[in-house]
Each structure stands twice: as C-alpha cells, then as structure tokens.
Structure 1
C-alpha cells in the first residue's frame, strides 16, 4: 500500500515538474515572440524613418527646382504644381503610418502588461496548489499514523 502512495506522489511530482517545464517553455516561447515583435517594430520604425528621410530629401529637391523655376518664365508652372501636390499627398500618407506605429506600440505595451499580470496570477495559483498538496499529504500521513496505532493497540 505504501508503494502505491509513493507512486502517486511521484506521479504528482512528475506532473508538477512537467507543468513547470511546460511553463518555462511557454515563457521562453512568449519571450521569443516578444523579441520578434520588438524586432519587427524596429524594422517598421526604420522603414518609416527611411521614407520620412526620402520625403524630406524630395521636398528639398523640389523646393530647389521650384526656386529655379521662379526665375524662369511660366511654362513649367503646371508641372511644379503637380509635384507639390504629390509631395503633399506623400506627407499625408506618412502621417497615418507614424500614428499607426504609435498605436501598435501602445497595444504591445498593454498586451505585455496583461501577460505579466496573468503570469503572476498563475504563479500564485501554483503556490497555492503546492501548499494544498503539502497540507493534504501531512493530514493523510497523520491519519495513517493514527490508524496504524489503532491497529497495533488492539489485541
């Protein structure tokens, strides 16, 4: 009978170890995903910065062209107006991209905070479970000792 109890405890301990290993794996997986998210976020930021730089360079170039055209007679006015409109359109397209980056960053921080809170809750639950299992084993051993004494004391 003691062997069965031992096996039950070993099985319980093995399950707990497996759960802990699974938790460590899950945490590592989540951390890897967080790192991937951070890397992708940085890539998007770099792309946005690159596009902003290109737009600024394009704006400078076009301003220079505009100044040169001002010196000339009016034949190029339509083309310059067209290019200015394209610059304005590019600037309008860049603004939502920047806002989208900020929104995604905020969402990421909120998701990370929620994850950390749930992780704390899980750790507390695991601690409570371990305490309950320990107390249960202690009570069962006490009862077994009492039963054993009762068996020994009776003729």
Structure 2
C-alpha cells in the first residue's frame, strides 16, 4: 500500500524514494570513504610513531652503550701521569730544601756583609786616627827638632 500512497503522488514519489536511496548510498559511501581515510591516516600515524619509537629505542641503546664506555673509561696515560706527578712531588721537596738553604745562606751573606762593612768602617776610622797621630807625631818631632836646633845654634 505504500506504493499506492506514493503512486497517488505520481512518479515523483518513486523518484523521491530512489533519490533517498541514492542519497543514502552516497552518504554511506562517503561515510565509508571517510572511515577508510581515517583508518588509513591512523595507520600512517601508527607507523610514524612506531618508527620514532624504534629510533628512540636505538638511541637509548646507543646512549646506554656510551654510558657503559664512560663508566669503564680509564686514562690511557695514567701510569705516565702518576710518574710525572711523583717527580713533581720530589722536585717540590728539593725546591723547599734548596729554598731554605738559600734563605740561610742569604742571611749568612747579609750578616757577613754587615760585619765586613763594620770592619771596613772601623779600619777607615783607625786609618784616619793613625794618620792624625802620625801627623801630630811628625809635628811634635819637628817642633822638638827645631827646639834642639835652636839650642845648638842660638844665633838662628
């Protein structure tokens, strides 16, 4: 009876039903195409995520390997460095000893220089005193000689 109801509207009712079915088919096809597109994009994103996870796992393994190498890393020149450090320590001890010796000898030198200068000044003073005494002695002897000469020769 449905056809009869539609037939009362004429062919346009049938056309309307055909249009609705066609519209439904198109809508379903469009919906299915969108769902397929969504699923395809979802798979693409999933593949990209899996690729990035793979790269992240590889990077994690690489970093773990580098970390292990860092943990066991030893200085290849450790022995040579230790030898040089010991020699530096020995030289430091020698330098300390030599520095103390230099200070002691500098002090001795200053004391000797001071004593030398004191003795030089004393010698200069004594020499000056001697010269004055010799001059005074010569003057006194000359005076005495003149007195004796006058006594011998009263005419002068």
**Greater relative contact order, per chain length (Cα 8 Å cut-off, separation 6+):** 1
TM, length-normalised to structure 2 = 0.46
Query: Over alpha carbons, which structure has the higher Rg?
Result: 2
